[in-house]
């Protein structure tokens, strides 16, 4: 009887111990679940906030891109962007007035189509030499060059080129200004100067003869 009573007491103690452990375990589990729910709610709030911020940033970026595109499209000068292979990635509408090509005709083409020979054939070599040596002859500066109109006419333009990187990729933006009228005026002035010099020399010769 004593052994049986002791066994029952031991079993009762064991039962109480297991009950206490189970209660503690359930309590801890409830705390963990509550904490996880709280963390989940906090994460959902953070995700929602980040999503809202991202949407606002995307809207702001879209507005900025639209403003930039509008400015570029309404510039007086022609603006052309090429990649590191010389392929035209973008062009504003002025390209049609300057070169006779529409934007759809030039985008995806090598920029050499806008250059007369021998520069057209040598352009890719120019770029390769720049990548190899780092020596820029026109990047960051501007100079007068000849372009090639769609109809085959050589046209005088002023070109300024800048370099930039996006996502580790190299791009170039060229701003081209039509200077045909200025070149024509300069030629007319030079011709007028030569004619004036010739007239002056003829007058001097006539006076000397007289």
Cβ–Cβ contacts within 10 Å for residue 84, how many?
A: 13
CA dist 38 and 40 (Å) reads 5
Cβ–Cβ under 8 Å, residues 143 and 46? no
Tell me the pLDDT tens digit for each residue of 142-165.
888 899 999 999 999 999 898 989
Greatest pairwise CA separation for the chain in angstroms: 164
- Cα–chain-centroid distance for residue 131? 19
pTM (two decimals): 0.57
Q: Over range 63-67, report the average pLDDT.
A: 68
Tell me the pLDDT tens digit for each residue of 2-59.
888 778 777 888 888 888 888 888 888 888 998 898 888 888 888 888 888 888 777 7
* Residues 6 or more apart in contact with residue 199 via CB below 8 angstroms: none
**Band (81; pLDDT cuts 50, 70, 90):** very high
Cβ–Cβ under 8 Å, residues 174 and 159? yes
Cβ–Cβ contacts within 10 Å for residue 105, how many?
A: 16
CA dist 28 and 15 (Å) reads 19
CA dist 170 and 81 (Å) reads 11
Cβ–Cβ contacts within 10 Å for residue 92, how many?
A: 19
Q: pLDDT: is 198 or 172 the higher one?
A: 172
């Amino acid at each position: 009887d004593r052994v049986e009573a002791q066994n029952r007491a031991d079993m009762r103690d064991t039962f109480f111990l297991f009950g206490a452990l189970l209660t503690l375990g359930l309590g801890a589990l409830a705390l963990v679940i509550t904490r996880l729910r709280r963390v989940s709610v906090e994460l959902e709030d953070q995700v929602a906030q980040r999503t809202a911020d991202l949407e606002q940033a995307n809207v702001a970026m879209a507005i900025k891109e639209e403003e930039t595109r509008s400015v570029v499209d309404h510039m007086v000068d022609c603006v052309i962007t090429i990649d590191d292979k010389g392929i035209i990635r973008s062009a504003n509408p002025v390209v049609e007035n300057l070169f006779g090509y529409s934007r759809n005709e030039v985008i995806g083409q090598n920029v050499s189509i806008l250059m007369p020979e021998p520069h057209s054939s040598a352009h890719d070599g120019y770029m390769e030499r720049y990548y190899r040596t780092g020596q820029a002859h026109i990047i960051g500066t501007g100079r007068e060059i000849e372009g090639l109109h769609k109809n085959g006419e050589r046209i005088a333009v002023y070109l300024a080129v800048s370099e930039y990187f996006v996502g580790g990729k190299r791009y170039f933006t060229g701003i081209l200004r039509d200077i045909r009228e200025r070149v024509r005026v300069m030629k007319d002035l030079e011709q007028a100067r030569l004619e004036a010099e010739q007239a002056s020399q003829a007058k001097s010769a006539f006076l000397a003869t007289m």
